[in-house]
Amino acid sequence: MSTPAFTLTAGPVAASPRVLAALGAQIEYDYDPIFLERFRATQRKVAQIFRTEGDVVIMQGEAVLGLEAAALGVVTPETTVLNLVNGVYSKWFGERLARQGATVIEHAVPYDSAVDPADVEALLRAHPEVGVVAVCHCETPSGTLNPIAEIGPLAHAAGALVICDVVSSLGGTDVRVDEWGLDLCVAGPQKCLASAPGLSMVTVSERAWQAMRENPAAPRRAYASLLDWQSAWEEEGRFPYTPSVTDIVGLEAACDEVLQTGLEAVIARHEHAARAARAGIRAGGLRPWASSEEIAASCVTSIALPDGVEEAQLRTLCRDRYGVVISGAQGELVGKLVRIGHMGIASTSLYPLVGVAAVVGAMGDLGVPVDVGAASAATLAALTGAPAAASAR
Express each pLDDT in 119-158 by its tens digit.
999 999 999 999 999 999 999 999 999 999 999 999 999 9
Does residue 253 sit within a domain?
yes
Shared domain check, 91 and 67: yes
Shared domain check, 207 and 132: yes
276-325 confidence digits (pLDDT tens): 999 999 999 999 999 999 999 999 999 999 999 999 999 999 999 999 99
Shared domain check, 160 and 100: yes
Shared domain check, 293 and 249: no
Q: How many residues belong to the chain?
A: 393
Name the pLDDT band for 385 (thresholds 50, 70, 90): confident
Does residue 322 sit within a domain?
yes
Shared domain check, 47 and 30: yes
Residue among 221, 100, 110 at smallest CA distance from 163: 100
Does residue 210 sit within a domain?
yes
Max CA separation in the chain (angstroms): 69
What residues does 7 pair with on adjacent strands?
325
Q: Does residue 191 register a pLDDT over 90? A: yes
Shared domain check, 340 and 199: no
Shared domain check, 330 and 185: no
Name the pLDDT band for 386 (thresholds 50, 70, 90): low
Of 222, 243, 259, at which residue does a domain stop?
259
Shared domain check, 133 and 114: yes
**Looking at residues 15-33, what average pLDDT do you find?**
97
Q: Does residue 12 register a pLDDT over 50? A: yes
Does residue 390 sit within a domain?
no
Least confident segment among 182-186, 231-235, 337-341: 231-235
Shared domain check, 300 and 249: no
Q: Does residue 391 register a pLDDT over 70? A: no
Of 201, 232, 259, at which residue does a domain stop?
259
Domain containing 361: what range? 6-12+262-384
Does residue 197 sit within a domain?
yes
**Amino acid found at 367:** G
Whether the pTM exceeds 0.75: the reply is yes
Kindly give the interhelix angle for 372-384 and 351-365, rounded to the nearest 10 degrees. 170
Does residue 389 sit within a domain?
no
Q: Taking the CA atoms of the chain, what radius of gyration do you get in angstroms?
A: 21
Q: What distance in Å separates the CA atoms of residue 71 and residue 16, rounded to the nearest whole number?
A: 33
CATH code of 278's domain: 3.90.1150.10
What pLDDT does 2 receive?
A: 75
Shared domain check, 145 and 55: yes
CATH code of 126's domain: 3.40.640.10
Of 240, 259, 278, at which residue does a domain stop?
259
Q: How many domains does the chain have?
A: 2
Q: What distance in Å separates the CA atoms of residue 128 and residue 231, rounded to the nearest whole number?
A: 33
Shared domain check, 290 and 343: yes
